[in-house]
Amino acid sequence: MTPKEAVEFAKKNNARILDLKFMDFIGSWQHFSVPIGELEESLFEDGLGFDGSSIRGWQAINNSDMIVIPDPGTTVMDPFMKDATVSMICNIFDPITKEKYSRDPRNIAQKAEAYLKSTGIGDTAYFGPEAEFFIFDNVQYDSTANESFYSIDSEEGTWNTGSDEAPNLGHKPRHKEGYFPVAPSDTLQDIRSEMMLLMEQVGINMECHHHEVATGGQCEIDMRFAPLVNCADNLMWYKYIVKNIARAHGKTATFMPKPMYGDNGTGMHTHQSIWKDGKPLMAGNGYAGFSDLGMHYIGGILKHAKTICAFAAPTTNSYKRLVPGFEAPVNLAYSSRNRSASIRIPMYSPSPKAKRLEIRFPDPSCNGYLTFAVMLMAGLDGIENKIDPGEPMDKNIYSLGPEELASIPTLPHSLDEALQALEKDHEFMLKGDVFTQDVIDTWIEYKRENEVDPLRLRPHPLEFHMYYDC
């Protein structure tokens, strides 16, 4: 959609408000709204100003002026607003130099796409995330100097089989038995359908939805793959729609990786492939129908996996899910069909167009723009340097003995360990000026000061159970 077409679209839909959305450094959508009279073709050149010092990880207060310039190709009607509101996703610029802002995640993703083209290796990187989430009926939490607690509840939770619900009608999925049950065990079918249909309404091509493995409202809605930046845009609409539909039904949705003890956490398995001139480059005659290029891409992902985790599993809570011996894959191995490996080559279809790899350790707390960009850069590093991924692991890794397991490298055990890996291994990210040193340093500093250290300093409720009588 051109600027002129975007203006005409707003008029055709009788829009009264223009809503401008953009991504903060860490991974949350921000927005502000203006009267529709502000929507002129000149807006796509001049932009609108805002305070960059109030956005996480961005400008200092003495250098705070920034401008947003909407991308006309992202124009849709916001489905939740009372007054007709046209929505656009924006890029961030410096008002003096008019250069794109280096800490804008969408800019970083755009530079990753440009770098791919500059290498001559391919012209399109497709990504397809499978974002899971929980829908709860109640959530309460607090952390003060003398108290810390959380409490979640779901009418589906197996812990409620003995609750007086006036009446309790049963049919609650047991732990790890929530995958694909029909109603009445699955109480969220209609809500997920509403979410999926609304995603289609804003232009996302959808595939399916279903209940996920955990009890207590774990769900998944799958979108079709799309080019990198477009896919990251879609992921933000996905989260926005899931949270707002849940709230409209008096429920709450979360993409927190591990909100519940004793059951599966929430992942975001991410499919990806590279194409050139409309042809898939990962299909070939090698293992699992992969090409040498595809194998080298896997080699790059395996080599830089710990660094990737700093973005793909970017919270302290992520490592409550990525625990050795449990459901999430933490072993740095690849395989076809084997879901215990951290990289899988799906074998659903023999078509070369369907040939792709699936990275299984990301989770949906991530910033999609940064996560997709760093995975692409790692894969391209593997291709450029012909990194050998080694032999595939077709055994069930969960059943291996200690000696065999010792030979397989693992993902980081904590966010701090992932940040340490990022400090040591990030040269591949600087190619093409995709990530700058400033972006990497700011990411590490923000995560340590605002997430790692605050958790380190606080007593955990379980520690009272274990140590109060020491």
**Residues designated catalytic:** 51, 130, 132, 212, 220, 269, 339, 358, 360
**307 neighbors 425 (Cβ within 8 angstroms):** yes
> From residue 284, how far is each of 103, 288, 290, 356, 387 by CA, in Å?
38, 9, 5, 11, 17
CA-only gyration radius of the chain, Å: 23
Placement of tokens 């409620």 in the chain: 160
Residue 134, φ and ψ in degrees, nearest 5:
-110, 145
Q: Which residues pair with 172 in a beta bridge?
A: none
Residue that the structure tokens 């792709």 belong to: 356
Rounded to an integer, what distance in angstroms lies between the CA atom of residue 316 and that of residue 313?
A: 8
Burial of 470 per CB tally in 10 Å (0-12, 13-18, 19+): exposed
Count, residues in the chain: 470
- The two beta strands, 279-280 and 218-223, are unpaired
Neighbouring C-beta atoms of residue 4, cutoff 10 Å: 11
Stated as kind and residue range, the H or E segment containing 118 is helix 105-119
What does the DSSP 8-state code read for residue 251? -
